[in-house]
Amino acid sequence: MPSRVEMPSLSFVVARSTPGHIIGCENKLPWHLRTDLSRFKQITLGHVIIMGRKTHESIGRTLPGRTTIVLSRNPNTERENTVWGLQETGLLWVDGRENALYLADILSIGRGRSDFFVIGGAEIFEMFSDLFNKVYLTEVVANVEGDAKFDFEFKYPYWQKIKEENSPQSDMDQYPSRFLVFKKRDKTTRFRIFPDFLTDAESRREWVRQNLPKITF
């Protein structure tokens, strides 16, 4: 008999201006903050990250040490240039939210990870806004122009602030910033059906490793 298994949690990683809540301008970050880039790497390394096509193009490469799932309305053309094999490319294209979630769940379980990350852009954040349980938020103190926003508010009692750090302007950071971590008080929990012989985490990881090559999107 199949059994319900709790899936990994979804988190956002966002950098936005304050005031204004700008996250991008013409598909680029409107600032350069080396401290925040280093923190982003530390948070996401070894995990699955989900992003939109424009965000992937703005980065210009597949980020090492992570598996990247790119959401695109027309993924077939891009996929023709992607060799299946996560160890070789670390890059997967999908055409919808549920496909992205399914891959992120399976890959995260296979690697023993309890969470994965959505990193943008604005349309992708909106797409997953009903599911995320934690946000790693950098607020950049700058009046900047932009065409993409992240206006979500993390207010009590729905959200709990669990971390806050301040970074001054410096040679490495174009603007001062504040790093905050918020956790949802009423966690959104998702489940999937697994065969009942997968009674522990290691059994589920082994099942994923054996069945992953059969998954196609």
pLDDT over 60 at 129, yes or no: yes
Summarised one tens digit per residue, pLDDT across range 60-113 is 889 999 999 999 987 654 444 443 444 336 899 998 999 999 999 989 988 889
Q: What is the mean pLDDT of residues 193-201?
A: 69
- The DSSP symbol for 212 reads G
Summarised one tens digit per residue, pLDDT across range 18-52 is 999 999 999 999 999 999 999 999 999 999 999 99
Short-list 72, 56, 66, CA closest to 86:
66
pLDDT at residue 216, rounded to an integer? 39
Q: What is the mean pLDDT of residues 113-134?
A: 97
Q: What topology is assigned to 2-214 in CATH?
A: Dihydrofolate Reductase, subunit A (3.40.430)
CA 4 to chain centroid, in Å, comes to 24
**Distance separating alpha carbons of residues 38 and 35, to the nearest angstrom:** 5
Pairing of strands 48-52, 159-167: unpaired
**Distance separating alpha carbons of residues 48 and 90, to the nearest angstrom:** 9
Short-list 116, 73, 117, CA closest to 95:
73
Domain boundaries of the chain, sorted by first residue = 2-214
pLDDT over 90 at 2, yes or no: no
Q: What is the mean pLDDT of residues 114-124?
A: 97
**Distance separating alpha carbons of residues 40 and 18, to the nearest angstrom:** 19
Q: Is the distance from CB of 52 to CB of 118 less than 8 angstroms?
A: no
